[in-house]
A and B are shown apart, each in its own frame.
Chain A
Amino acid sequence: MNSTTQLLRQINPAFVQEDRVTSQAFRPTPKDENHLSVYDGDQISAQAAWEHFVSNPVCNSVGVMAVTFDECQKHSLPVYADGIGYKEHCTIDFSEFKEKDIKKKAKVLSAYASARGWLFQHVSCYK
């Protein structure tokens, strides 16, 4: 992993309206212990990551967006390549921050990802 590595994030269908993605897509829930799961884009393509993700029947995704390792670092968000569950798994760690700051970080990451656009999109978005 290096500064330009893209960290691939799956986007739930309900998190898209009129092709706009909610900042929640880049915010971990307290149940996730403030860890956001992403795929290491150096190890897997966006389409392959999507196929891997939706192969789990409870998981749903309309496509893949990404932030880079560097963008996370710039906002003091550590990234670990931990291989938990599958070898390409990485974690963006928000645990050092309070809830209001986590929301701000999510807004920043979401803006980066939206500016980059979809890396992979499966059929039409949920509207």
Chain B
Amino acid sequence: MKQMKYLTPRLVGGRFNNHSLPLEILKDLAVLEEMIVEVAKWKYRQANPERERIPRGFTKDLDLRLTNVEDGSVIPVIMLAFSGLQPPANAIYFEQARTEIINAISCAERNLTPEIPSEYLNYFDRFGRGLRDDEYIEFTESDKPVRLNVETRKNLVRASKADGWTEEVSLKGRIPKIDQSRFKFELELSDGTKLEAPLNKQHLKNVLEAVSSYENNMYVMIQGVAKKDRFDNFKSFESVEHITPLDPLDVEIRLEKLAELSDGWLDGKGVALNRDALKKLTHNFDRYFDSDLPLPYLYPTAEGGIQAEWSHNNWEISLEIDLQQQTGEYQAFHLESNKSNDLDLHLATVDDWIELNKALQIVFGVQL
């Protein structure tokens, strides 16, 4: 088959920075193909109003193929392949479809209503769903590139007048209920919202364990596709890919719980913890704390900070964190020998997280 270059979207940010294409993005590209074919049919109908039907074999001699992945950050090269020596006449509608789709993204970037009919915009519910907050897909047809990111995708789905949209998510919560007759279970988020989810056989063991340990606060993380309403509220899960039981000391869950404390929590004293600062701490823990080390126990401090603690072989270790200043006072104290190690850390810098990890690795005997 012969082929010609059709589309070279540039995938930028997050997971694409190491110049490789995550397999899950292939799902998005498959949806892009579906959208291109349907928009091409629409363009054909516009150009041929006298025809009631799309000719049989409209796509027979044409095929979209991923032939290469180029650097910078990641550029999948999508070719339009055809069986004859020259592209068939229908290829023009595929060219027009590409232009329409790129124009629609351009409109969404500028908060304008796309010209493409809303039923085709529905494809953006699945195309771009795999993108994370720090990632985008850039398309260039004229001088100015256009970007599909989380925000422009939302604008496009809103413009499709759909009742809601779906998102790939990782959500943490407890499982209060399972209904094996309907193959469903519920995930309860920390704000009390309950989301119904389909129960797959391969997840049954984890779900049953989580249900029986609900009262003991067993949390799980569910990765899958969640449905949201037009107001951005989660409604349910459309599909579930992974269910992972969480460590009882999961940092995010614990800090969410501590965020609920109000002023006066400590016998009339005790300052409430700043939610934004807690989110930043959660992020930094997730990013910089050595995953080979045991997670800390986390407690609020009277001044509105956090104290992380570890106990190991007569070592009592504390890290008192000032959330506003992002500083930490580390102290490891050996109860028998009275040996101690005190460090002042600036937790806004990666270097000091590395220093914290090293100090803990020595106590816990983790291989450096």
State whether these chains interact: yes
* A interface list, Cβ under 8 A from B: 12, 14-15, 17-18, 20, 22-24, 29, 31, 56, 58-60, 100, 103-104, 107-108, 110-111, 127
Which of B268, B299, B307 is packed against the most chain A CB atoms within 10 Å?
Answer: B299
B140 within 8 A of A: no
Between-chain CB contacts (< 8 Å), 13 pairs: A12-B265, A12-B266, A22-B299, A22-B307, A58-B264, A59-B268, A100-B340, A103-B333, A104-B340, A108-B335, A110-B316, A111-B316, A111-B335
Q: Beyond A17-B249, A24-B299, list 15 extra A-B contacts (CB 8 Å).
A: A14-B258, A14-B300, A17-B254, A18-B248, A18-B249, A20-B297, A23-B316, A31-B269, A31-B302, A58-B268, A59-B268, A100-B331, A100-B340, A103-B318, A127-B217
Q: A18-B249, A31-B302 are in contact. Are A59 and B267 (CB under 8 A)?
A: yes
B209 within 8 A of A: no
The distance from the CB of B107 to the nearest CB of chain A, in whole angstroms, is 49
The distance from the CB of B256 to the nearest CB of chain A, in whole angstroms, is 12
Number of A-B contacts (CB under 8 A): 67
B276 within 8 A of A: no
Size band of the interface chain B makes with A: 20 to 34
B311 — nearest CB in chain A belongs to which residue?
A20
B211 within 8 A of A: no
Which residues from chain A contact B299 at a C-beta distance below 8 Å? Answer: 14-15, 17, 22, 24
B261 within 8 A of A: yes
A59 — nearest CB in chain B belongs to which residue?
B267
* B interface list, Cβ under 8 A from A: 217, 248-249, 254, 257-258, 261, 264-270, 297-303, 307, 309, 311, 316, 318, 320, 331, 333, 335, 338, 340, 342
Which residues from chain B contact A60 at a C-beta distance below 8 Å? Answer: 265, 267
> Could you say which of B261, B301, B302, B335 contacts A107, with CB atoms under 8 Å apart?
B335
The distance from the CB of A127 to the nearest CB of chain B, in whole angstroms, is 5
